[in-house]
Structure 1
Amino acid sequence: MRLLIMGNSGSGKSWRARALAEQHGLAHLDLDTIVWEPGQIAVPRAPEQVHADLLVFVTGHQHWVAEGCYGDLVEAALPYCSELVFMNPGRDVCLENNRRRPWEPHKYASMEAQQSKLDFLLDWVAGYYEREDAMSYACHRRVFDGFEGRKTEVTLQT
């Protein structure tokens, strides 16, 4: 089992990936951990380092789950996956999940520091369906629709 899970922030990617990793004994990669400089908020690592770390992960484990909103990284990992999951529960669900997000100590020094970025995050999440970048609905839809392997789209109705 080699699963890629993509979607907007708050769509349930991390929750699903952790549950599957625990249930099936899979290695788990949160793409945030290779995209950003450790211990720094929104400081990107060099793209060649990110891609090298992604390749090490997908080729270094027989069974794994990787998750994130980075459509370009999901696309780079597609040749190595056995299933693609697109978490697409809708804007309102994503916004509410981000409002209720517990403290992420691997990203923020405190819950207060995390909450100080919440308005920015909510604005970014709300723009998912209008943006055209690698972390947008447009990119995720293109990647999902173009993938010819096993795939599942998880919507609010699913």
Structure 2
Amino acid sequence: MKLILLGNAGSGKSTLSKKLIAREPAARLSLDEVAFHNGAERRPLEESIADVEKFIQSHNHWIIEGCYADIIEAVVHECDELIFLNPGIDTCIAHCRSRPWEPEKFNSRQEQDENLDNLIDWVKSYESRVDEYGLSRHRRLYDSYSGKKRELKHTTQYETL
């Protein structure tokens, strides 16, 4: 398995990757881990891509998940399948509101909760953003990929994987 999960924040990428790995062991890389320096400062793109390439070379079976079209574009040719999770803004917001504490991203549950309004505002802008995190860029990446791919528009479809 060499799988890339692409989608908005809250689309279910992390949850789905963990479910798939429980069924078929594989290394997992959240692109959040390679995209940023401490906090909100984005790393140079070339450094992030180099780290993802090292990850790919180090593992025979893997899942990479994230919303960073600029990073994924550079490595998508390495995957066996690209899955675009696109369940809609309301579902993404609901997932954000119900997500458990993410200690890899936040020092405490309180810190995560204090960031929730910012995250929801960011999720709501998905359809209008034209950056590497927005729907238009994700759509372009998905549509241009010529390998095996699936777009999942309903979380019920996640169960079929």
Would the aligned equivalents of 1:59 and 1:80 in 2 still touch at CA under 8 Å? no
Deviation larger for 56-65 or 123-132:
56-65
Q: 1:104 & 1:64 partners in 2: Cα distance?
A: 21
RMSD, aligned CA:
1.2
Would the aligned equivalents of 2:68 and 2:133 in 1 still touch at CA under 8 Å? yes
Structure 2: stretches of 5+ with no match in the other structure: none
Instruction: Compute the displacement of 1:30 (Å).
Output: 0.6
The 5 Å alignment of 1:2-151 reads 2-37=2-37, 40-151=38-149
Would the aligned equivalents of 1:84 and 1:151 in 2 still touch at CA under 8 Å? yes
Q: Describe the SS at the equivalent of 2:133.
A: coil
Instruction: Compute the displacement of 1:87 (Å).
Output: 0.2
Segments ≥4 residues shifted beyond 4 Å: none
Would the aligned equivalents of 2:45 and 2:71 in 1 still touch at CA under 8 Å? no
Instruction: Compute the displacement of 1:73 (Å).
Output: 1.1
Q: 1:150 & 1:31 partners in 2: Cα distance?
A: 21
1:30-58 Cα offsets, whole Å, 9 max, x none, are: 11011122xx3213223222111011012
Q: Describe the SS at the equivalent of 2:6.
A: strand
Structure 1: stretches of 5+ with no match in the other structure: none
Q: 1:124 & 1:60 partners in 2: Cα distance?
A: 33
One-letter code of the match for 1:147? Y
1:67-121 Cα offsets, whole Å, 9 max, x none, are: 0000111111111001000000000000111011111111111111111111111
Instruction: Compute the displacement of 1:137 (Å).
Output: 0.5
TM-score by length of 2: 0.92
Would the aligned equivalents of 1:41 and 1:108 in 2 still touch at CA under 8 Å? no
One-letter code of the match for 2:12? G
One-letter code of the match for 2:65? E
Q: Describe the SS at the equivalent of 2:128.
A: coil
TM-score by length of 1: 0.94
